[in-house]
């Protein structure tokens, strides 16, 4: 099949074409995306602090693979394909756990240490020709950034700096701007997982634009009045949407939040910044917390979104009530994902066979589409 869309240019010069509907419904497109995006690029897998002590492990879906991330005895994180080298059983069947010595396969008990080395197997002693070093777990590239383990399944991963970190520089216009939030030092205040019945691209595209904000986000537009004009923070490089005049904090009712994170600069205060790291990670920065979304496509029409609200350690340790703070973006998430779920069924309608259109404030979504088509090896018609 070809990945070239057949959408003609829209008749009105201010409009550009979206992708055709089949990009959101065709299992073959989804397979190509898994292979060429999620299994080739850096994906944000797990929060580093979720693997607190040596021996902790987490399993996470990356593209079509299951990956196990471990905390080694010396405190580093490692990632492996979650497949036993003996006869291929899934090694870790739980989402998270802690082991004392190593990971033991539940099938024939081959055992691997936290660095992935094969350390024991029944009767191994009677098979002296077996070179244990040959049968360690298959390693996956791992980098830590913003307090998360990012993994890449590619044999030769792309530059982390030029792809993942570049997304933050490109959006904020300054490499230091995201670092000032000290995200890797923050603690988890709340995590909500959303099971969304929509294609992952609808979720990304929705996050990138604010044309819908006035219609579906009453609480958000109260806090960030400029969003009511339909221009997303992502529309301008380096621009953060400013809090409204009477707004004290990024909370559901605009009431006070928490103290500004220590290194956030004065010009970043009272502003909301959003970064999309392709293929599908969203970083939201406000003066007193960071909200990070990890997007896991499960099927062409189903996507899991894990959203973390991160606060200064003293806020979490004090048991402070974060609920009004969490509630604002939780509502935004629910409002957004409901919109995506309303859109998904129409993707297979004949009305959307040639796709829809992007208005000027959404034109940057066209850049995302071009990026996607290039990665899949096609071109825009």
Binding mask 166-205 toward ligand FES (x if CB under 6 A, else -) reads ----------------------------------------
Query: What order of strands is seen across the sheet that includes strand 111-113?
Result: 102-104, 111-113, 118-120
DSSP 199-254: -HHHHHHHHH--TTHHHH-HHHHHHSGGGGGT--GGGSTT--EEPPTT--SSSTTS
- Please provide residue 306's backbone torsions phi and psi, each rounded to the nearest 5 degrees: -105, 120
Distance between CA atoms of residues 104 and 101, nearest Å = 9
Q: Which one, 86 or 143, has the nearer CB to ligand FES?
A: 86
Q: Which one, 52 or 88, has the nearer CB to ligand FES?
A: 88
Q: Which does 108 bind (CB under 5 to 8 A by kind): ligand FES, Fe ion, none?
A: ligand FES
Minimum separation from the CB atom of position 153 to ligand FES (A): 21
205 binding Fe ion? (CB under 5 A): no
Q: Given candidates 226, 288, 336, 362, which one binds Fe ion under the rule CB under 5 A? A: 336
Strand pairing of 102-104 and 16-17? unpaired
Minimum separation from the CB atom of position 79 to ligand FES (A): 19
Distance between CA atoms of residues 23 and 105, nearest Å = 39
Q: Which does 336 bind (CB under 5 to 8 A by kind): ligand FES, Fe ion, none?
A: Fe ion
Minimum separation from the CB atom of position 83 to ligand FES (A): 9
362 binding Fe ion? (CB under 5 A): no
Minimum separation from the CB atom of position 207 to Fe ion (A): 7
Contact 96, 137 (CB under 8 A): no
Q: Which one, 336 or 362, has the nearer CB to Fe ion?
A: 336
Give residues 59-98 in contact with ligand FES (rule: CB under 6 A): 84, 86-89
Query: What order of strands is seen across the sheet that includes strand 302-311?
Result: 187-196, 302-311, 289-299, 281-286, 271-277, 241-242
Minimum separation from the CB atom of position 135 to ligand FES (A): 10
Contact 297, 200 (CB under 8 A): yes
In degrees, to the nearest 5, what angle opens at C-alpha 293 toward C-alphas 220 and 284?
A: 50
Residues in the chain: 381
Give residues 286-305 in contact with Fe ion (rule: CB under 5 A): none
The sign of the CA dihedral 77, 42, 338, 349 is: negative
Minimum separation from the CB atom of position 140 to ligand FES (A): 18
107 binding ligand FES? (CB under 6 A): yes
Minimum separation from the CB atom of position 285 to ligand FES (A): 44
Q: Which one, 150 or 282, has the nearer CB to Fe ion?
A: 282
**Integer CA distances (angstroms), 233 to 210, 285, 364, in order:** 8, 11, 12
**Integer CA distances (angstroms), 302 to 30, 195, 201, 356, in order:** 11, 7, 11, 21
Q: Which one, 81 or 310, has the nearer CB to ligand FES?
A: 81
Q: Which one, 107 or 371, has the nearer CB to ligand FES?
A: 107
Q: Given candidates 29, 62, 105, 365, which one binds ligand FES under the rule CB under 6 A? A: 105
Q: Which one, 74 or 123, has the nearer CB to ligand FES?
A: 123
Give residues 108-137 in contact with ligand FES (rule: CB under 6 A): 108-110
Minimum separation from the CB atom of position 35 to ligand FES (A): 25
Short-list 379, 375, 380, 377, CA closest to 37: 375
Residues forming contacts to ligand FES in the complex (CB under 6 A) are: 84, 86-89, 105, 107-110
Residues forming contacts to Fe ion in the complex (CB under 5 A) are: 336
């Amino acid at each position: 099949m070809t990945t070239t869309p057949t959408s003609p240019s829209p008749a009105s010069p201010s409009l550009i074409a979206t992708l055709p509907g089949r990009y959101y419904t065709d299992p073959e497109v989804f397979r190509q995306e898994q292979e060429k995006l999620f299994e080739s690029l850096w994906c944000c897998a797990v929060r580093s602090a979720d693997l607190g002590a040596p021996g902790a492990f987490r399993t996470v879906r990356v593209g079509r693979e299951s990956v196990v991330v471990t905390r080694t005895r010396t405190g580093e994180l490692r990632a492996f394909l979650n497949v036993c080298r003996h006869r291929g059983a899934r090694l870790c069947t739980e989402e998270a756990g802690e082991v004392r010595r190593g990971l033991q396969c539940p099938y024939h008990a081959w055992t691997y240490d936290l660095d992935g080395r094969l350390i024991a197997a029944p009767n191994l002693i009677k098979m002296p020709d077996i070179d244990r070093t040959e049968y360690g777990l298959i390693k996956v590239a791992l980098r830590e950034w913003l307090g998360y383990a990012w993994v890449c399944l590619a044999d030769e991963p792309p530059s982390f700096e030029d792809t993942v970190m570049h997304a933050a520089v490109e959006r904020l216009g300054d490499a230091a701007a995201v670092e000032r939030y000290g995200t890797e030092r923050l603690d988890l205040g709340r995590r909500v997982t959303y099971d969304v019945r929509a294609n992952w691209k609808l979720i990304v595209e929705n996050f990138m634009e604010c044309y819908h904000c006035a219609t579906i986000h009453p609480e958000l537009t109260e806090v960030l009045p400029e969003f009511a004009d339909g221009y997303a923070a992502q529309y301008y490089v380096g621009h953060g949407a400013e809090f409204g005049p009477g707004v004290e904090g990024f909370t559901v009712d605009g009431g006070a939040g928490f103290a500004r994170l220590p290194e956030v600069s004065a010009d970043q205060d009272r502003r909301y910044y959003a970064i999309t790291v392709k293929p599908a990670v969203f970083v939201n920065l406000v003066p007193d917390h960071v909200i990070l979304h990890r997007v896991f496509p499960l099927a062409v029409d189903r996507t899991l979104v894990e959203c973390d609200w991160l606060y200064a350690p003293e806020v979490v340790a004090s048991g402070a009530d974060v609920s009004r703070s969490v509630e604002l973006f939780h509502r935004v998430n629910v409002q957004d994902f409901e919109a995506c779920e309303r859109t998904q069924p129409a993707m297979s309608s004949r009305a959307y066979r040639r796709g829809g259109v992007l208005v000027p404030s959404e034109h940057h979504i066209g850049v995302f589409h071009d990026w996607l088509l290039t990665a899949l090896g096609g071109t825009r018609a």
